[in-house]
Structure 1
């Protein structure tokens, strides 16, 4: 589990905040901000780095007003000036929490995803993309044993992966355990999965909760297997290195002991044998065989 944009903030969404978010009205029009390498999910708070002129103007304009924008992922990170065909049609309404001007000229913006939308019609592309949008309504979940079992499985597998990975903060497992909302749990885990933008976009666009949960569990299971394999390889390499270091240390000790006792070290004995061999009148075959054995 886990940018153009940086790591996730561990910020949890309470059930009350989620209900309030669901009840917010979706604007008919939104300024659309394309992101490289990042898919924003509802409820999740992330920092993004804004460097393109169009994006900086969009953020500045929105920050002076309602601080609400539409965030979509780019289909390819290689496109520097994306047009409507270069971005996914399903995105997330975002609230700009904070904006920071950086010394390098870029702008870092803290945003929180609100709810999903689908682009309906492009109104203009200059100075940035403006579009009409339709909200995507989340279906209310019915509490039952299957839902409880799904949530439990998601939390257990995520926590196990966090403990297995040395690069993930331990606070992440505490955050996972304290998430009460099944939908936000899915969004939080999806946002932090080590998968492609296209795979995250598939999760974002999936409407049915059970389908999304199944996809997330599949990704988590694959990630767990990869981590187990990496850890096994790391352990084997460490054992091999430890054995080499131990053998080297023992050989050095043996040489020191032999020198203290006045005995020749193995290296010295080999050198003496080479010197004596020079005085022998062997044919080429015998000389080659001797040299080969001495080199072992």
Structure 2
């Protein structure tokens, strides 16, 4: 196992001691300087890279893929900025893959890929942070960053007091910002943007914006979840009460559905329909008895049966055809329409002859 570098050793590390480094693409991870993380190694190129590392000075450059879904990335699929890292320990996995613990050392920019087989190697340039011009302004921003992280920790389920305590022990603005962003669940693209930002003031401001947005997103999500839960609870309560009411009515012989079906059956019999019409009405009533009362189709079927029973099947009156009376009524109730009235009178006259 390679010894972990101290903060002082990382700051004094000279990238130019080596002309080129092996490059390991990472699917969904961005490594920051001084961060220690485990990485899964399963692709052929990455396995060959790890197997070729010696026992001393096990340095590699880890670079995030722009698209993590690409199985065999080319140099064009990788970001131009990455992190020089030291491989601390390698573990063999049961499926012939490997897992490694790596420690970030410094930001680097790829100048040129010097080899692509059996794995990528590249010449890199160390990218140092720009000097701080206004320390007082940076101190204020850092204070805001610490407070924002504390606020995020109260609502983010994946953050604990351990993360908060870890940040309290970090005093340098650049390292504090990197560590805060590294533990937040955000997209690789946003983390990469922080990695590539060499101006410490802008890096802190970007981190503040990300944390503030995450707080709002989580709070909004909790509010929506709470509203949905309340609505589900209300619906379940109403359903439970309805079922209880049904059971009570059924026990008393006052089941609402049964009472309504009986009433409709009595109306069908009282309507004195023709046998064919009554047969259709009873068939529809039988179908209605099998439809749940909460279903929209229940109301449609019931309305149809009620319409059938409301028709005047057995009610009739004698025709009284008085042409003079009919003309008088038409003239009193309708202004104009002379041709229409004339046709109506002609029709009644023909009926009168029959």
TM-score after normalising by structure 1: 0.82
Mapped contact 1:159–1:176 kept (Cα < 8 A): no
Choose the corresponding residue for 1:73, options 54, 61, 64.
Answer: 64
Deviations 1:69-95 (A, max 9, x none): 111112222433333332222111111
Partner of 1:237: 228
SS in 2 for 1:119: strand
Q: CA deviation at 1:209?
A: 0.4
Q: Aligned pairs, how many?
A: 278
Aligned pair in 2 of structure 1 residues 121, 231: CA closer, same or farther (>3 Å)?
same
Output the aligned Cα RMSD. 3.0
Separation of aligned partners in 1, 2:222 and 2:169: 28
Separation of aligned partners in 1, 2:301 and 2:195: 71
Aligned pair in 2 of structure 1 residues 268, 185: CA closer, same or farther (>3 Å)?
farther
Choose the corresponding residue for 1:91, options 82, 93, 98.
Answer: 82
Separation of aligned partners in 2, 1:289 and 1:86: 60
Separation of aligned partners in 1, 2:232 and 2:31: 43
Q: CA deviation at 1:255?
A: 3.3
Choose the corresponding residue for 2:27, options 32, 36, 39.
Answer: 36
Partner of 2:257: 267
Higher mean alpha-carbon deviation, 263-272 vs 49-58, is at 263-272
Aligned pair in 2 of structure 1 residues 277, 83: CA closer, same or farther (>3 Å)?
same
Q: CA deviation at 1:177?
A: 3.9
Separation of aligned partners in 1, 2:224 and 2:82: 39
> Would you say 1:255 and 2:246 are equivalent positions?
yes
Choose the corresponding residue for 1:292, options 299, 303, 307.
Answer: 303
Partner of 1:172: 163
Higher mean alpha-carbon deviation, 190-199 vs 136-145, is at 136-145
Aligned pair in 2 of structure 1 residues 85, 248: CA closer, same or farther (>3 Å)?
closer
Aligned pair in 2 of structure 1 residues 87, 282: CA closer, same or farther (>3 Å)?
farther
Q: CA deviation at 1:258?
A: 3.8
> Would you say 1:49 and 2:40 are equivalent positions?
yes
Higher mean alpha-carbon deviation, 125-134 vs 110-119, is at 125-134
Partner of 1:246: 237
Q: Which has the higher Rg, Structure 1 or Structure 2? A: 2
Partner of 1:9: none
Partner of 1:22: 11
Separation of aligned partners in 2, 1:182 and 1:271: 77
TM-score after normalising by structure 2: 0.69
Q: CA deviation at 1:264?
A: 0.9
Separation of aligned partners in 2, 1:37 and 1:142: 34
Q: Which runs of 5+ in 1 are unaligned?
A: 1-12
Superposed, which structure 2 residues align to 1:270-285 within 5 Å? 270-281=260-271
Q: CA deviation at 1:18?
A: 2.8
> Would you say 1:158 and 2:149 are equivalent positions?
yes
Aligned pair in 2 of structure 1 residues 244, 68: CA closer, same or farther (>3 Å)?
same
Partner of 2:213: 222
Aligned pair in 2 of structure 1 residues 277, 193: CA closer, same or farther (>3 Å)?
farther
Greater RCO (Cα-Cα under 8 Å, separation 6 or more): 1
Separation of aligned partners in 2, 1:227 and 1:20: 38
Separation of aligned partners in 2, 1:63 and 1:268: 85
Superposed, which structure 2 residues align to 1:185-200 within 5 Å? 185-200=176-191
